[in-house]
Structure 1
Amino acid sequence: MSRTERQKMQAGEWYCCLDSELSVLRHQARTAVHQHNTAPPDPAENLSPPLAALFAARGENCLIEAPFHCAYGINITLGNNVYMNAGCTILDTAPVTIGDRTMLGPNVQIYCAQHHKDKDLRAKGLEIAHPVTLGSDVWIGGGAIILPGVAIGDGAIVGAGAVVTKDVVAGQTVTGNPARPRQV
């Protein structure tokens, strides 16, 4: 029996993102994101009910400022006391795990999808998804970009505007493009 494109995506294999089941899931995410982004500011909610229902799991006291965008939402897991400033984007074609007390500055982008390098296969919608993990007590500066497959250890800091292409060890500070350990 052949597997669905969603099953391939979840297994970390090449899949076609133009699949109808995946389109339905992306539409559900867009609806929840729209409801979150257009909710009245008062009373302020830590995490809007549409997003809370969409995410794979979420801890207590999480706050996501509008506007926010995600591809599916169903692959996002938040620990306790996670904060995301305005303009964050998570393209969660694979699991995205964000640990307790982690803070994301404005316009942080987390990407899990990698499109095929062959132009003909890319035109057919082939991509592969790699998980992204942010440990606990991580601070991601505004405008930083986290690429597919990256893990950032507990207590690490990613400087504003950094492009993180490789894992960051616990307690380390990285800056630049590509992000490298900061010399103190």
Structure 2
Amino acid sequence: MSEREKMLAGELYDPSDDELLKLRLKARLLTEELNTTSVELQCKRVEITKRLFGTTGDNIYIESSFNCDYGSNIHVGDNFYANFGCVILDVAEVKFGKNCLLAPQVGIYTATHPLDPVERNSGLEFAQPITIGDNCWIGGHAVINPGVTLGDNVVVASGAVVTKSFGDNVVIGGNPARVLKEISTKA
């Protein structure tokens, strides 16, 4: 099994592997290009994002600055928006449904490290995927931790630290995040 296959399978892997180094460099170059392309060139910005991300829907917009590890492990649906300063550490897959909004400074982190200090100091790491449902809004400075799944119509309050998964139709907030209220949808 290659280091990339181990990484995507959630197993311990070596991030200094040549293939992974090349993939991260490609992502750094594409994010650099995206972040330095004028907002007046929206079609070019979308084209760069489509080359960076694994899959995209229609109507996507990423404000600069944007940073990610690989890009190819990010999958977004239609009508995706990421505001200024978004960071997605996509060591594992990060999937967004349609109509998702990320406020400024949102951090989405699939990457993690062993708790045991000897194992952690070996340089090996691992990751857990993150899935965000349809119609979700993640507030400014919120953090989504490895392994989290959010259902449809979830609102994450500003500054929340999301350490576990939540179902549909809830507003969550706090550190660690908890349900603040249920959302009644208009049919």
How would you bin the TM-score normalised by the shorter chain? over 0.9
Identify the residue that residue 58 of structure 1 maps to in structure 2: 56
The answer to whether the Cα contact below 8 Å between 1:16 and 1:124 also exists between their aligned partners in 2 is no
Q: CA deviation at 1:49?
A: 2.0
Alignment of 1:132-171 (within 5 A): 132-171=130-169
Give CA-to-partner distance per residue, 1:115-161, whole Å, 9 cap, x none: 11122222222111110001000010000000000001100110000
Instruction: Answer yes or no: is 1:104 the counterpart of 2:102.
Output: yes
Q: Percent identity?
A: 44
Q: TM-score, normalised by structure 2?
A: 0.93
State the 4+ residue runs in structure 1 displaced beyond 3 angstroms: 45-48
1:123 alignment partner in structure 2: 121
Inter-partner Cα distance in structure 2 for 1:7 and 1:172: 35
Q: Which residue of 2 aligns with 1:7?
A: 5
Question: Is 1:47–1:62's contact at 8 Å kept on the other side of the alignment?
Answer: no
Change (3 A) 1:57 1:95: same
Match of 1:176 among 174, 177, 182: 174
For residue 35 of structure 2, what is the aligned residue in structure 1? Answer: 37
Structure 1 regions of 5+ residues with no counterpart?
none
Q: How many residues are treated as equivalent by the alignment?
A: 182
TM-align CA RMSD: 1.4
Unaligned 5+ residue runs, structure 2? 183-187
- Secondary structure in structure 2 of the residue aligned to 1:116: coil
Q: Which amino acid aligns with 2:155?
A: I
